[in-house]
Amino acid sequence: MGLFKMPSLGADMEAGKLVEWMIAPGDEVKKGDTVAVVETQKGAIEIETFEAGTVGKLLVEVGETVPVGTPLAEIGDMSVEAAVPAHEAVPEPEPGPIAPPAPVAAPTLIRAGRHRASPAARKLSAEKGIDLSAIKGTGPGGAVTSRDLEGTHKAAGQKAASASGVDFTEMRKAIGRAMARSKREIPHYYLRHQIDLRAASSWLDEYNGSREPSGRLLMGALLVKAVALSLKQFPDMNGFYENDAFTPSDAIHCGVAVAVRGGGLIAPAVHDTDGLPLGDLMAAMRDLVARVRAGGLKGSELSDPTITITSLGDRGVDEVYGVIHPPQVAIVGFGTVEERPLAADGTLVAAPTVIATLAADHRVGDGRRGALFLREIEKLLQKPEAL
């Protein structure tokens, strides 16, 4: 019961623009229902409610940009809440400077209806005044893509939109703010460790060899699962540092860094990573990547990762040293899996290996703990069948 507010979707978010209501006064909603779409520097995000009940007044108009914490709607029993004043009277919940509402160039956003759309398409439709609900999407899950909008409204010689549609300038600013805060506030320490992947590679080849493509796994899923299981023994790597204190998280929600095509990075959470069988984890990762690129990320996925994992994939370099995403306290990096010289059993062999790195928060622990954590990840990867 109470007020549905503009959520914080990460340390770098100060305000969000409401671009779509998916509810109307009188609707019944339950906890977890998607009720609004908010445009952030990370693109359009579907916001879930943590309130249940009947929708009362909608307090913010589509097109308005409001600070994090601003009441957006009344949901459920409002008898315990004071009458809601107009939202300008709401105290700002976040300390520090809040950006003034971004000037809305043309506050004539068209209500899009319950439509999935890629960030590019959503941006283009807003710019051009195209009604997304009138467009049949051909993207994943019926998402409207910028391609679908071609011909609908073609400005002379204009390119549809930036490749993946996110406003890269805004996203870069947001990443810059969060990373500058991290480097300013978090005393990072760094470790690296080369991990033998012979067992994991052989197991993966055999596993994939007997399956149709949709049932196959990528090495990335094994790496993420090994981190998640290791965290059970290293709760000091999994949680949040806020108000001068570390609070470990009971749940393990690994944030998986996903590149936005054309530039930019989003690290949404795979919820309860440690409990997912590898097949389910792979499906969850595929789904997240698809939604980073086609739209449909949920607010909770952005706001609750308890650690971040960044993996360079098959076209990267040997190692990556991450910057911790506050208020998290650790980031695990995996470089490209490649054959490298490996000394084993008294001989030198060429073997598939990965170089794992850890950046962790010295306010929470020391390098010794970090080293044990990386060793545990290594140990688990030697028995891939148990992941």
Partner 1 sequence: MNIPMTPEALRRVFEEELLNIAPDASFDGVAEDADLRDVLDLDSMDIMNLVIALHDRLGLDIPDKDAAQLVTIKGAVDYLSSKD
- Residues from 138 through 157 that contact partner 1 (CB under 8 A): 138-140, 143, 145-147
Q: Give the HSE-up count for residue 300: Cα atoms under 13 Å, Cβ half-sphere.
A: 12
Question: What span, in angstroms and rounded, lies between the C-alpha atoms of 117 and 105?
Answer: 21
Q: Terminus-to-terminus CA distance in the chain, angstroms?
A: 41
- Residues from 249 through 308 that contact partner 1 (CB under 8 A): 259, 261-262, 285-286, 289-290, 293-294
Query: Which range of residues in 36-44, 133-141, 179-187, 374-382 is near partner 1 by CB under 8 A?
Result: 133-141
> Is residue 136 part of the contact set for partner 1 (CB under 8 A)?
no
Query: Which range of residues in 27-35, 99-107, 208-216, 372-380 is near partner 1 by CB under 8 A?
Result: 208-216
- Residues from 219 through 238 that contact partner 1 (CB under 8 A): 220
Least distance to partner 1, CB of residue 199, Å: 17
By beta-carbon proximity to partner 1, the closer residue of 294 and 380 is 294
Query: Which range of residues in 21-29, 46-54, 61-69, 312-320 is near partner 1 by CB under 8 A?
Result: 312-320
Question: What span, in angstroms and rounded, lies between the C-alpha atoms of 292 and 45?
Answer: 10
Contacting residue, 172, 177, 198, 216, with partner 1 by CB under 8 A: 216
Contacting residue, 29, 160, 226, 257, with partner 1 by CB under 8 A: 160
Of 122, 168, 162, residue with least CA distance to 265: 168
> Is residue 330 part of the contact set for partner 1 (CB under 8 A)?
no
Contacting residue, 40, 65, 118, 328, with partner 1 by CB under 8 A: 118
Contacting residue, 80, 97, 214, 243, with partner 1 by CB under 8 A: 214
Query: Which range of residues in 42-50, 128-136, 204-212, 325-333 is near partner 1 by CB under 8 A?
Result: 204-212
By beta-carbon proximity to partner 1, the closer residue of 226 and 294 is 294
Residues in contact with partner 1, counted by CB under 8 A, come to a total of 35
By beta-carbon proximity to partner 1, the closer residue of 11 and 120 is 120
Of 64, 267, 291, 263, residue with least CA distance to 169: 263
Q: Give the HSE-up count for residue 220: Cα atoms under 13 Å, Cβ half-sphere.
A: 22
Residues engaged in binding partner 1 (CB under 8 A): 118, 120, 138-140, 143, 145-147, 160-161, 163-165, 205, 208-209, 212-214, 216, 218, 220, 259, 261-262, 285-286, 289-290, 293-294, 313-315
